[in-house]
Amino acid sequence: MTVISAEMIKNLREKTGTGMMECKKALTESNGDFERAIDLLRQKGLASALKKAGRTASEGLIHSYVHMGKIGAMVEVNCETDFVARTDDFKELVKDIAMHIAAASPLYLTRDEVPQDIIERERVIYRAQVADKPSYVVEKIIEGKLEKFYTDTCLLDQLFIKDPEQKKRIKDIVSEKIARLGENIIIRRFVRFQLGETVQG
């Protein structure tokens, strides 16, 4: 059994913004494995985030980010109170999301927003790509490719550009802020512009 030191608890608290007792519990449960303890706290954070998901979020911020006058993004992120909207934590989240949108160029907010005809078109392309594979693996490969499509095009499913380990998705960083700030947080809408691009429609 690994001895959980005060230093370990302090480090985990600084990294996750979670209370001392929760950090100690997670470290004890993970037998001192730091990364596993973070995963446990994230799972608990996500559970508390889900409990808050039904609450009304009508406050928040609109933030714009422009990169070298060539690419611009604007995002609206909502929370429950003006108090939370004015915190540095919330402002940082909104700024990071706007910067991410500019860099990662998502097409949709969630996978539910992807039109069905687009999904079907992707399926047709993937099916043609794996035509030579055994039939029993074809559907599994297509689902895997579709998952990758969602990761590439849907904001909440995209890997957060500022995460050095490229493991956290945008929905994960939102859930972490919900757990930290204690309010429901919703990315409401976004728009991205690139100089010279043709407007579809």
pLDDT at position 16 over 80: no
pTM: 0.69
Most confident option among 8-12, 43-47, 79-83, 89-93: 89-93
Phi, psi of 27 (to 5 degrees): -65, -40
Q: In what helix (H) or strand (E) does residue 55 lie, and over which residues does it extend?
A: none
pLDDT digits (tens, 9 = 90+) for 53-89: 666 677 899 999 999 899 999 999 999 889 999 999 9
- pLDDT given for residue 201 in this prediction: 42
Report the percent of the chain where pLDDT is more than 90. 47
Q: Which domains does the chain have, with CATH numbers?
A: 6-52 (1.10.8.10), 59-110+154-194 (3.30.479.20), 115-151 (no CATH)
Can you spell out the DSSP letters for 95-159?
A: HHHHHHHHHH--SBSSGGGS-HHHHHHHHHHHHHHTTTS-HHHHHHHHHHHHHHHHHHHBGGGSB
Phi, psi of 91 (to 5 degrees): -60, -40
Q: Pick 6 or 62 by higher pLDDT.
A: 62
Buried b (16+ CB within 10 A) or exposed e, 46-84: eeebeebeeeebebbbebebeeeeebbbbbbbbbbbeeb
pLDDT digits (tens, 9 = 90+) for 171-192: 999 988 988 888 889 999 999 9
